[in-house]
Structure 1
Amino acid sequence: MTPEEFRAWGKQVVDWIADYQAGIERYPVRSSVAPGEIRAALPAHPPERGEPFDAVLADLDRVLLPGITHWQHPDFYAYFPANASGPAILGDLLSSGLGVQGMVWATSPACTELETVVVDWLAELLGLPGHVRTDAAGGGVIQDSASSAALVACLAALHRASGGRAATEGITRRYALYVSAHTHSSLERAARMAGIGADNVRVVDVDPATQAMDPEHLAALLAADRAAGVVPALVCATVGTTSTTAIDPVPAIGRICREHGVWLHVDGAYAGVAAVCPELRWVLDGVGEFADSFCTNPHKWLLTNFDCSVLWMADRAPLVAALSILPEYLRNAATASGEVIDYRDWQVPLGRRFRALKLWAVLRWYGAEGLRAHIRRTVALAQEFAALVRADERFEVLEPHPLGLVCFRPLGPDADGRALAGMEELNASGALYLTHTKVDGRVVLRFAIGSPRTERRHVLAAWQRIRRALT
């Protein structure tokens, strides 16, 4: 493809994306295709000769779009938001156009240094302390997801807990990792991949009223493991759990971790970005003082398309020591000088994309004011939805719900069955998309507002559909 051809087709692709976003409400929110339907509509063998790009776009419309669940739809209330804004898309396009491989500073200095700037900017916007800046002892890095952030935090914690032996000798002792029943499953996966093992993942009780981790039970589990010769490696506290956005008491957990010398990782994948608003900064209480590592995902609620998860370290030394290997083909003068950051030592893969471009574009386009306005608007819509549900005596709302997620359920006979059946009916209609969870053994529906396209009219119409389907 020549530059002239790229220019012509690139304009058409940008127009296609703009038209898609402008008309996204005409699509059903969730795809209704049957398993295998998309594959059956595509050729079984690759083309022998090249095809014009208009054929690719035609099949995008004809074959692929029916199989798309539209995460950018204003009536997408499932899981958590995964926003793709205009500036982020353009930043991603620039990243693809440059084709940078940013494994070490020398392979593209701008890739590394822009990343250090944007993660420091974001740390400032969230009110994080100075020691997590990249020009201090800690530093931030953009991972692909909070799952990868959890894994590298686990490896750093093991490195520290083993005195460095885990990286050279392997796991020669029993180590344990501590979560609550509502901690994201990526922490158990991290324990498996790091060699700790699923059997050594301890589940800490939660407060029945708040669903937040119980510090007293955590302390008891840590003490019991110490007495049994098991080495506590990492505790994960969550700021905004996936099920209900429960906020674990980080200050109390942090003090216990410090007493026992245990690494504290704080997962704020969804809710952490809420701290751009000063009135919501309480969600990060204790993080700056006690967390050894903390992550949050701009690709959820902060208008930055996937993948973009930022991980900060209070002290980057254990992470770099756990992951750094320097083969001859990567040796260079800049690395040898010790004056640069080589982000290959901060992540699982060697190679890395220029993800900082899209976060940079978002921060510059919206500014702090625009980001705060987005968070505040979606939180206000969620609170209005909760008030509507609470006002209907046939439903109950799970308290508290301080952010953009509202959990609720119908009351009366067979409430669980009616909740699930009603959810499936709504999702199958294409009018909206909900997901569910279980709290204390009861089915609870999740209504997550986070899209910049969701307006009050969408929320009001969604509530009317929910009432009809569930009562």
Structure 2
Amino acid sequence: MTPDEFRRYGKQVIDWIADYQEKIESYPVLSQARPGDVLANLPAHPPEQGEGFEGVLADMDRVVMPGITHWQHPDFFAYFPSGASGPSILGDLLSAGLGVQGMLWATSPACTELETRVLDWFAELLGLPERFRSDGPGGGVIQDSASGAALAAVVAALHRADGGAAGRDGIARRHTLYVSSQTHSSLEKAARIAGIGAVNVRVVDVDPATLAMDPAHLDALLAEDAAAGALPVMVCATIGTTSTTAVDAVPAIGEVCRRHGVWLHVDAAYAGVAAVCPELRGINDGVAEYADSYVTNPHKWLLTNFDCTTMWVADREPLVGALSILPEYLRNQASASGEVIDYRDWQISLGRRFRALKLWSVIRWYGAEGLREHVRTGVRLAAGLASRIAADPAFALLEEPKLSLVCFRPRWDGLDGAEADAATLRLMERLNASGDLYLTHTKAGGRVLLRVAIGAAGTTGAHVDAAWRRIREETAALAAERTP
């Protein structure tokens, strides 16, 4: 493809994306494709001769779009938001155009130093502690996901706990990792990959009312395991659990970790970005004093395309010590000088994209004020929806939302727990099949709950109102169907 051809087709691609954004509400939120539909429209064999790009764009409409669930649709309320905005898309395009492999400072100094500065900016925007800044003992890095960051944190904690013995000689004794029933599953996966083993992932009790980790039970488990000869490696506290946005008591958990000398990883994947708003920074209480590592995802609620997970460590030495391997072909004068950061040593993989460009673009386009307004809009819309649910006797609200996730269920008078849960799942399936909105569910207190996660860039009060109206209508229709 010549530069002139790239220019011509590139303009068509930009127009296609802009057109898609303009008409996104015309699509059903959830893809209506059945298993195998997309495959059936794709040739079984690759083309022998090259084809024009017009065919690719035509097949985007004919083949790809019917199989797309529209995560940027303003009526997408499932899971958590998956940010995508104009400046982020353009930043990602610049990254793709440059084609940088930023494994070392020397392989593109701008890739490294822009990331360092953007992570310092972002730490300032979130009110994170000075020790997370690049001019201190720690620093920040952009990971591919919170799952990848969890694995990096586990191996760093393991390195600190046993002085690097596991990385050098293999794990020779029992090591333990501590989570709650509400902790993201990526922590158990990280324990499996790191060699700790799922059997040594200890599940700490939670408060039945708040679903927050119980610090007293954590303390007892740590003491019990140490007395039995195990080496406790890491505790994961969560700020905004995936299920219900429960918030663990980081100050109390941090005191326990400090007393036992255990690494504290704080997973704030969804909720952490809310701290761009000064009035919401209370969610991070205890992070400055106790966290050894901290993660949040701009690619969820903060208008940045996947993948962009920001991770900070209070001390970079265990992370670099665990992950640094230097074959001859990577040796260079800049790295040997000790004056530069090589981010390959801060992540699991060697290669890395120029992800900082999209976060840099987002921060510069929106500014702190624009980012705060986006978060505040989500919080305000969630609070409004929760108030209407609480006022409706046909529904039960789990609790007042902490941020922009609302969890609730229909009451289903006359049905027992299992029957009511089944009815709630049928309601969700009917709502999703309609194409008008997309919800997911969770389970808390032994009951199935519907989740409404607000945060897409285009979602307004009108969209939330319409969703609530559809939920009420479909609930009433389902209830009427079972009435004799």
Which TM-score band applies after superposition, normalised by the shorter structure?
A: over 0.9
Query: What's the CA shift string for 1:300-347, capped at 9, x where partnerless?
Result: 001100000011000000000001011110000000000000000000
Which residue of structure 2 lines up, in the alignment, with residue 268 of structure 1? Answer: 268
Q: Secondary structure of 1:366's partner?
A: helix
Which residue of structure 1 lines up, in the alignment, with residue 479 of structure 2? Answer: none
Q: Show the 5 A alignment for 1:368-407.
A: 368-407=368-407
Residue identity opposite 2:276 in structure 1:
V
Residue identity opposite 1:96 in structure 2:
A
- The CA deviation at 1:399 is 1.3
Q: Is the 8 A contact 1:235 1:257 kept in 2?
A: yes
Query: What's the CA shift string for 1:133-177, capped at 9, x where partnerless?
Result: 112100000000000000000000000111110110111110011
Q: Is the 8 A contact 1:33 1:66 kept in 2?
A: yes
2:409 is aligned with 1:409: yes
Residue identity opposite 2:131 in structure 1:
H
CA distance in 2, matches of 1:469, 1:186: 35
- The CA deviation at 1:297 is 0.2
CA distance in 2, matches of 1:25, 1:314: 44
- The CA deviation at 1:239 is 0.3
Query: What's the CA shift string for 1:272-303, capped at 9, x where partnerless?
Result: 00000000000110011100000000000011
CA distance in 1, matches of 2:74, 2:451: 15
Which residue of structure 1 lines up, in the alignment, with residue 461 of structure 2? Answer: 456
Q: Is the 8 A contact 2:137 2:315 kept in 1?
A: yes
Query: What's the CA shift string for 1:183-232, capped at 9, x where partnerless?
Result: 00000000000000000001111111111111111111111101111111
CA distance in 1, matches of 2:134, 2:433: 47
Q: Alignment RMSD, CA only?
A: 0.6
2:474 is aligned with 1:469: yes
Which residue of structure 1 lines up, in the alignment, with residue 61 of structure 2? Answer: 61
Q: Is the 8 A contact 2:116 2:140 kept in 1?
A: yes
2:484 is aligned with 1:440: no
Which residue of structure 1 lines up, in the alignment, with residue 201 of structure 2? Answer: 201
2:109 is aligned with 1:109: yes
- Alignment: residue pair count: 471
Q: Show the 5 A alignment for 1:44-443.
A: 44-411=44-411, 412=413, 413=415, 414-443=419-448
Q: Secondary structure of 2:311's partner?
A: strand
Residue identity opposite 2:24 in structure 1:
I
**Normalising by structure 1, what TM-score?**
0.99
Q: Secondary structure of 2:442's partner?
A: strand
Q: Is the 8 A contact 2:383 2:400 kept in 1?
A: no
Q: Is the 8 A contact 2:236 2:265 kept in 1?
A: yes
CA distance in 1, matches of 2:31, 2:151: 32
Which residue of structure 1 lines up, in the alignment, with residue 18 of structure 2? Answer: 18
Which residue of structure 1 lines up, in the alignment, with residue 480 of structure 2? Answer: none
- The CA deviation at 1:470 is 2.0
**Normalising by structure 2, what TM-score?**
0.97
Residue identity opposite 1:175 in structure 2:
H
Residue identity opposite 1:11 in structure 2:
K
Residue identity opposite 2:225 in structure 1:
D
Residue identity opposite 2:459 in structure 1:
T
Q: Secondary structure of 2:233's partner?
A: strand
CA distance in 2, matches of 1:218, 1:203: 9
CA distance in 2, matches of 1:173, 1:340: 36
Q: Is the 8 A contact 1:75 1:462 kept in 2?
A: yes
CA distance in 2, matches of 1:133, 1:166: 29
CA distance in 1, matches of 2:129, 2:174: 34
CA distance in 2, matches of 1:400, 1:284: 19
Flag structure 2 segments of 5+ consecutive residues without an equivalent. 477-484
CA distance in 2, matches of 1:36, 1:361: 38
Query: What's the CA shift string for 1:47-98, capped at 9, x where partnerless?
Result: 0111111110000000110000000000000000001000000000000000
Residue identity opposite 2:470 in structure 1:
R
Runs of 4+ residues deviating >3 angstroms: none
- The CA deviation at 1:242 is 0.1
Residue identity opposite 1:221 in structure 2:
L
CA distance in 1, matches of 2:384, 2:19: 31
Residue identity opposite 1:35 in structure 2:
P
CA distance in 2, matches of 1:246, 1:218: 17
CA distance in 2, matches of 1:293, 1:166: 20
Residue identity opposite 1:117 in structure 2:
R
Q: Secondary structure of 1:59's partner?
A: helix
Residue identity opposite 2:269 in structure 1:
A
Q: Is the 8 A contact 1:423 1:434 kept in 2?
A: yes
CA distance in 2, matches of 1:400, 1:147: 28
Flag structure 1 segments of 5+ consecutive residues without an equivalent. none
Q: Secondary structure of 2:384's partner?
A: helix
CA distance in 2, matches of 1:301, 1:462: 20
Q: Is the 8 A contact 1:210 1:400 kept in 2?
A: no
- The CA deviation at 1:24 is 0.2
Q: Is the 8 A contact 2:30 2:433 kept in 1?
A: yes
CA distance in 2, matches of 1:244, 1:228: 34
